Amino acid sequence: MEVIGYGTQDASIDLGPLKFTREPVRAGEIAIQITHCGVCHSDLHQARDDWENTVYPCIPGHEIIGEVIEVGEGVSRFKVGDRAGVGCMVNSCQQCDQCDVGDEQYCTGPKSCTLTYNGPKKPDGTNSYGGYSTGIVVREEFALTIPEKFTSEHAAPILCAGVTTYAPMKYFGLGDGHTLAVAGLGGLGHMAVQIGKALGAKVIALTTSPEKADALKEIGADEIVDVNDDDAMEKHAMSVDLMVNTIPYAHDINPYLQLMKAKSQICVVGNFLGFEELDTATMVFNHVGITGSLIGGVAATQEVLDLCAEHDIRAVTKSIRMDEIGEAFQRMLDENIEFRHVIDMASLRDDDDAAAKAVQVDNPVRGEVVGRA
């Protein structure tokens, strides 16, 4: 499949049109014409090499929705014309202990899982290209069924923002009678608030932007606490069972510790850059854990799609054209936004100018289709 993508060949260059070939569909795989792709903070970090592991060219995008246009031999879950989603991974070994329990994101196979863009989690020089593109080929085990009641624009953010916040809630058994706190109320955080409510928890939204209070109430937050207001923080001391911390950069986590009940957990899902100091005394005296969680497995992704459909949970989205991605990245850096940009991929498919200007790059890999019965 000949594909136009939007990416960059260097950390210092803005994203622009690139072209390449997706290798033909093999047995067990499907080809998807991409109609929508959500814009995640990871896309920006990866394109700018903030984690110092980017393999260029980098074509981001892992909240992909589209239409199946071809199915390979033996494909059983999709037919041509179906809507399908692709999240953060396109492949894994399908044979290790982690894959066996549906946690493909922790695959211990030789190359680890293959992320939707930037290739294997343990970089080995091979690359994959994500959803800022007109099409993708993926093994069917890594494609999601999109519940009918979602528009594609509203479904896209669930594929990363939704599952990334749902996975720790599931792992730690969040439910009725528990209090969830959400730190960082951007694309991930605003999904976390809604998913926590759907699971039966009381939800405290922790913000540094109290002017967002109305928007946070609207999506179901029971309490809104201004992190910079000492009295408000004190009032909620030792009240939280689980905190999902979605803040995507290094920050001071210590003020949050006082909110945690004894034997509770703060789960970091967005900051790969570390913390300078940790108040280990509070952690020890109250048995507060700081843990981490990476995206979520394919089964959990389908689960959270179905949960969001059942509870009418919607991402708050803003539709953009592919060529507006630079502005969207800048807004994410500058403005503390509480919605998800979603790219309308028709804007790239129909852009003759982009097609004419697109720079040819090497074809991406997507790993073997191993482990199929």
Interface residue list for Zn ion (CB under 5 A): 40, 42, 92-93, 96, 99, 107, 109, 160
Instruction: Give me the least distance between CB of 126 and Zn ion, in Å please.
Output: 16
- Taking a C-beta distance cutoff of 8 angstroms, is the pair 20, 127 a contact? no
> 10 — phi, psi (to 5°)?
-165, 145
Beta bridge partners of 33: 67, 135
Name the residue nearer to Zn ion (CB basis): 112 or 258: 112
Name the residue nearer to Zn ion (CB basis): 35 or 91: 91
| Gap between the Cα atoms of 339 and 355, Å rounded | 29
Looking only at the bridges linking them, the beta strands covering 64-71 and 83-86 are: antiparallel
Instruction: Give me the least distance between CB of 103 and Zn ion, in Å please.
Output: 9
Name the residue nearer to Zn ion (CB basis): 160 or 201: 160
Instruction: Give me the least distance between CB of 356 and Zn ion, in Å please.
Output: 31
- Angle made by CA atoms 235, 271, 244, in degrees to the nearest 5: 40
| Gap between the Cα atoms of 31 and 70, Å rounded | 5
Nearest Cα neighbor of 9 from 66, 67, 71, 54 is 54
Instruction: Give me the least distance between CB of 164 and Zn ion, in Å please.
Output: 7
3-class SS at 312?
Answer: coil
Name the residue nearer to Zn ion (CB basis): 119 or 257: 119
| Gap between the Cα atoms of 192 and 180, Å rounded | 9
Instruction: Give me the least distance between CB of 252 and Zn ion, in Å please.
Output: 24
Instruction: Give me the least distance between CB of 20 and Zn ion, in Å please.
Output: 22
Name the residue nearer to Zn ion (CB basis): 128 or 264: 128
Name the residue nearer to Zn ion (CB basis): 40 or 342: 40
C-alpha dihedral, 24 to 29 to 35 to 40, nearest 10°: -110
